Amino acid sequence: MDQTNQSEAASSGFEKAAGAQPGAGDGPIVADSVQVYSRNIKGTFRTIKWSAIWILLGLYYVAPWLRWDRGPNAPGQALLVDMPGRRAYFFDIEIWPQEVYYLVGILIIAAVGLFLATALAGRIWCGFFCVQTVWTDLFMWVERHIEGDRNARIRLDKGPLTFSKAFKKITKHIAWMLISLATGGAWIMYFKDAPTFTVEFFTGTASYNLYGFTLLFAGTTYILAGWAREAVCIYMCPWPRFQSAMFDEHSLIVTYEEWRGEPRGKSRRDADFTGRGHCVDCTMCVQVCPTGVDIRQGQQMACIGCALCVDACNSIMDRFNLPRGLITYDSTANQVARSKDQATKFLPLRPRTIIYAAVMLIAAAVMLFSLVSRERLEINVLRDRAPLFVRLSDGGIRNGYTFKVLNMERLAKTYTLALDGIDGATLAVIGIVKEGATSATLPVKPDTIGTFRVFVKAPRRSLPEKSMDMNFLLTDQKTGKVYPHETVFAGPGR
Ligand code: SF4
Ligand code: SF4
């Protein structure tokens, strides 16, 4: 390691905000916090992290552009939440507002999945997949390409304001803003046809709402990923506060093997490590940390479990010909076992992981079953309340209903409506059949709600009670499937 790094690193790997000159608006976003200048590092976890980031970003930006043919009069976007049409589309699956419980199911599966991942692999979500981590890493990647790695950035911030410094700062912030704009715009594309929105956006014909929301999401991205960064994880996010409840001694976490590392001290490469710890106090683990944590001080809430310090320390161990894993991504049980020279093991099957997995599987199975067996028709009947019933001149009793058929298919449907449960009852449907009919044919357009006014007449002798149970029977004329719908017929009683 070069001397500059070592001396800079000796001040615990980050610079006090007061010591760094604000450049193009840079500086800590929270009072008393420190400006973190994380250093680039190569290694296994960094590679995994880059892979996760590019895949997730690719999915996010590309997914709204995927097309899906649903036939005429239907959106051709594979993933779309159509707010005006009150519909959500996921490839071939179409979710109506009445089916919002699917969203609840997805949230339950996601939450329990997060519990399971945490119990197995600690803060793997925070370190590798969380949107804050992904976008912050992207912004830091841009920053590194424009301003240089850690030492260059520290020098730049401490140095006077020159043309070169201003140029770098402005370029960085313009790049961040463009990414933020693309991020905000991509988010809107999940709610509006992507090609249409893009054309409208750049030709100035999009609505003020769309411009407003795009700028809102762009601004949020710019602030959270560009400025707030680790402060979001440390001060704003509630997840670190209760995730430790999912840990046990077999959960994989990033830890420093103190029993092996201490007593620490500076060292030469060819030094004899007998009688001393393997930590050479290079602070590389702190320099690469995106949240400025010194993991040698033990587990901390600010540690997001990204394991970059593992890569950093392994690279140092390699240089000193010492065994890797002084900082390790392993369970505390294995750490203890290693310290006693005992065998280590990974125990993925434990009561809590089995329970989480079982809950997830049950929720997923229920969702899947209800999805494949769901009806694409819904009946809604509203009985007239005022008046409850009408006495007719021939002695019969009449009730009025508003009968709604929700046809969720993209095919026109024809149904036969009939009655069951009251002897001699007949019906009339306004505009379709007159009073005295025993059935009526109801046409319903594709993907709409058919609304019909239905009057049911029953002879007085068939109504011994004030309230009689009755069924509307709706038959799909094409498939022959009958959809009964229970309702009530009101009369004067005996
Ligand atoms: S733990 Fe490893 S990376 Fe950190 S200071 Fe010690 S030797 Fe260096
Ligand atoms: S301490 Fe290590 S694992 Fe934790 S956030 Fe810092 S670099 Fe990542």
Question: Domains in the chain, please, with CATH?
Answer: 3-245 (no CATH), 250-339 (no CATH), 377-490 (2.60.40.10)
CA 34 to centroid of ligand 1, rounded, Å? 21
Which atom of ligand 2 lies closest to the CA of 329?
A: 3
The finding on whether 246 has its CB within 6 A of some atom of ligand 1 is no
Which atom of ligand 2 lies closest to the CA of 327?
A: 2
The finding on whether 279 has its CB within 6 A of some atom of ligand 1 is yes
Which tokens go with 477?
A: 């004329």
Exposure b/e, 37-57, CB count within 10 A at least 16 = b: bbbebebebbebbeebbeebb
CA-closest residue to ligand 1 atom 7: 279
Which residues, 6 or more positions from 404, have their beta carbon under 8 angstroms from its beta carbon? 379, 380, 381, 382, 449, 450, 451, 452
Sign of the four-CA dihedral 101, 106, 111, 115: positive
pLDDT value at residue 53: 97
Q: Are 450 and 377 in contact (CB under 8 A)?
A: no
CA-closest residue to ligand 2 atom 2: 309
Residue 314: how many other CB atoms lie within 10 Å: 22
N residues, the chain: 494
10-residue mean pLDDT series, the chain (494 residues): 38 35 44 80 97 97 95 90 92 89 93 96 95 97 97 96 97 98 98 97 96 98 96 91 87 94 91 92 96 92 95 97 95 92 92 96 94 91 94 94 93 96 96 95 94 96 93 96 96 84
Dist. CA 231–CA 225, nearest whole Å: 10
Fill in the DSSP letter of residue 226.
Answer: I
pLDDT value at residue 33: 63
CA 308 to centroid of ligand 2, rounded, Å? 6
Which residues, 6 or more positions from 324, have their beta carbon under 8 angstroms from its beta carbon? 313, 314, 317, 318
Collapsing DSSP states into helix, strand and coil, what is residue 488?
strand
Strand-pair category, 397-407 with 433-437: unpaired
CA 230 to centroid of ligand 2, rounded, Å? 11
The finding on whether 309 has its CB within 6 A of some atom of ligand 2 is yes
CA-closest residue to ligand 2 atom 5: 303
Select from 45, 260, 280 the residue to mutate for testing ligand 1; criterion: most ligand atoms less than 8 Å from CB: 280
CA 130 to centroid of ligand 1, rounded, Å? 26
Residue 187: how many other CB atoms lie within 10 Å: 18
Sign of the four-CA dihedral 170, 171, 173, 174: positive
Dist. CA 492–CA 388, nearest whole Å: 10
Fill in the DSSP letter of residue 64.
Answer: G
The finding on whether 292 has its CB within 6 A of some atom of ligand 2 is no
CA-closest residue to ligand 1 atom 6: 279
CA 333 to centroid of ligand 1, rounded, Å? 22
Give CA angle at 121 (244, 335), nearest 5°: 85
* Burial degree of 133 (CB within 10 A; 0-12, 13-18, 19+): buried
CA-closest residue to ligand 1 atom 8: 282
Q: In this structure, which ligand is nearest to the CA of 319?
A: 1
Dist. CA 307–CA 121, nearest whole Å: 11
pLDDT value at residue 26: 55
CA 179 to centroid of ligand 2, rounded, Å? 26
Secondary structure of 120-147 as H, E, C letters: HHCCHHHHHHCHHHHHHHHHHHHHHHHH
Which atom of ligand 2 lies closest to the CA of 305?
A: 3
